[in-house]
Amino acid sequence: MGIVPSLPFGVYVHFPWCRRRCPYCDFAVEVAIEPPHQAYLEAVLGELAEQAPSFGGRQLVSIYFGGGTPSLWSVDCVAAVIRAVRERWAASGPLEITMEANPTDCQPERVEAWRAAGVNRVSVGVQSTRAEELAVLGRDHRMGDGVAAIARLQAAGELRVSADFIVGVPRRGPRGGRALPMLAPAELAVGDGAAAAADLGWVDVLARSLAQHASVYELTVEDGAAFSKRVADGRLIPPPADDLAELYVAVHHALAARGFEHYEISSFARPGFRAVHNSLYWSGGEFLGLGVGAASYRRTEGGAVRWSNRRRFALYQRERLAERRDISPLEDAGDRLWLGLRTSDGVRALDLAERPGVTEWLLGDGLAELVDGNVVPTVRGFLFADAIAARIVGAAGGR
């Protein structure tokens, strides 16, 4: 099989354990007060040894610890994984090493231990700065904990900080207890799209904190999550789609006004602080996923291959692989097009021209604009990203 050593390459490490499962979560997560730290380290290192040869010659740009709650993992285990990965691949420059963390885990001693292990970027799950929303989301931290965590990380120095937020939190329904206030469309004051929302206080909190990056997700009700049942029986009422669209546009303008670049559908960064690892997923870069539920992508001479691991540790220990699929060159090219149209960089107009009628539709419907030979999505294009992906795939005659 051919390899493409010039492509940027990252390693994702999934740590599946949490203290509790958030009711909106459908990730590969297990609940444990005391996870099997050493046993999981040995399993991950075993997978690394097995998979690394197929990524020989790559230039490493990132290591990302996600979850679950990887900030629960023993720092000694985290350090061991970082050492093992760095021994396998040379870095092509400064290496981004990210740790996802719950706010309550960002205590000074632990933060310093992460730094000593090599972590240089922390992504904090703030999710909301409103007590009532944290309660609905089932988070194990309180109002103020997220902001305090960002402050402690900044005080440590030499750490880049990202903060995760969730918007569109459902309100309690008639069977869900005390009603929660929701943002009404009029409160958003979007108008012509230039003004920020009146009740997006967390945006100012983020700007004052000097965090360099933010990920802002619309809450979706997944079929396998506890929220699904609560919505079905009336305990929770999600906001209407039109309200969510208004809120999304308001967030875009509010963060732009405070110096953040909206560079991907859910991602905002101060200049020079885009997420290196996440950008691999949108730009066609390769990545190796290690651990329970992790996914991998590798380019080949005949297209590409994707595979993913089993979602429970007991199953992963017996047989790691859950699914493997070869991807044709046509499908791989299509994936890179629709993924590229989820970013502010867009895609080359020449590449998109291979999908008849797509460019004309995007420009004509205000979903994208032509900038220096690239087709670049507008905010409206971000809102209709799924429809754009479907059109690109359809324009190639399916898969």
Task: Identify the CATH number of the domain in which residue 262 sits.
Answer: 3.20.20.70
Q: What's the predicted TM-score (pTM) here?
A: 0.90
Predicted confidence at residue 6, as pLDDT, reads 59
Section 313-336 average pLDDT: 96
- For residues 64 and 203, membership in a common domain is answered with yes
Digit-coded pLDDT (tens) for 18-65: 998 887 888 889 999 899 999 999 999 999 999 999 999 999 999 999
- For residues 120 and 208, membership in a common domain is answered with yes
Predicted confidence at residue 198, as pLDDT, reads 41
Predicted confidence at residue 199, as pLDDT, reads 57
Of 263, 280, 297, the residue at which a domain comes to its end is 280
| Residue 219 domain boundaries | 8-280
- For residues 397 and 250, membership in a common domain is answered with no
Digit-coded pLDDT (tens) for 380-391: 999 999 999 999
- For residues 383 and 263, membership in a common domain is answered with no
Predicted confidence at residue 200, as pLDDT, reads 78
pLDDT band at 308 (very low <50, low <70, confident <90, very high): very high
Q: Is the pLDDT score of 185 beyond 60?
A: no
Query: Cα–Cα distances in Å, from 32 out to 44, 290, 310, 326?
Result: 18, 20, 18, 35
**Of 4-18, 69-83, 146-160, minimum mean pLDDT range:** 4-18
Predicted confidence at residue 139, as pLDDT, reads 79
**Residue 269 lies inside a defined structural domain of this protein:** yes
Contacts for 144 with CB less than 8 Å, ≥ 6 apart:
129
**Residue 286 lies inside a defined structural domain of this protein:** no
Section 354-379 average pLDDT: 96
**Of 229-243, 302-316, 367-381, minimum mean pLDDT range:** 229-243
**Residue 305 lies inside a defined structural domain of this protein:** no
Predicted confidence at residue 119, as pLDDT, reads 98
Section 345-367 average pLDDT: 95
What share of the chain in percent tops pLDDT 90? 68
**Residue 294 lies inside a defined structural domain of this protein:** no
**Residue 338 lies inside a defined structural domain of this protein:** yes
Instruction: Report the C-alpha gap between 156 and 135 in whole angstroms.
Output: 29
Mean confidence (pLDDT) of the chain: 88
Q: How many domains does the chain have?
A: 2
- For residues 206 and 143, membership in a common domain is answered with yes
Predicted confidence at residue 2, as pLDDT, reads 44
Query: Cα–Cα distances in Å, from 16 out to 12, 13, 86?
Result: 13, 10, 22
**Residue 307 lies inside a defined structural domain of this protein:** no
Contacts for 333 with CB less than 8 Å, ≥ 6 apart:
351, 354
**Residue 285 lies inside a defined structural domain of this protein:** no
Q: Is the pLDDT score of 188 beyond 50?
A: no
Q: Which two tokens stand for residue 396?
A: 């190639």
**Residue 318 lies inside a defined structural domain of this protein:** no
Digit-coded pLDDT (tens) for 191-249: 333 333 445 788 988 888 889 999 999 887 777 777 778 878 888 888 888 888 999 99
- For residues 94 and 183, membership in a common domain is answered with yes
- For residues 88 and 233, membership in a common domain is answered with yes
Of 257, 280, 303, the residue at which a domain comes to its end is 280
- For residues 339 and 266, membership in a common domain is answered with no
Of 245, 280, 315, the residue at which a domain comes to its end is 280
- Sequence length of the chain is 399
Digit-coded pLDDT (tens) for 266-298: 999 999 999 999 999 999 999 999 999 999 999
Q: Is the pLDDT score of 179 beyond 70?
A: no
More confident of the two residues 227 and 86 = 86
More confident of the two residues 116 and 191 = 116
Sign of CA dihedral 134, 140, 143, 144: negative
- For residues 339 and 275, membership in a common domain is answered with no
Spatial CA neighbour of 13 closest among 55, 63, 59: 63
- For residues 336 and 198, membership in a common domain is answered with no
- For residues 212 and 122, membership in a common domain is answered with yes
- For residues 36 and 127, membership in a common domain is answered with yes
More confident of the two residues 172 and 212 = 212
Predicted confidence at residue 360, as pLDDT, reads 96
Q: Is the pLDDT score of 141 beyond 80?
A: no
Predicted confidence at residue 27, as pLDDT, reads 86
Instruction: Report the C-alpha gap between 148 and 154 in whole angstroms.
Output: 10
Section 364-374 average pLDDT: 97
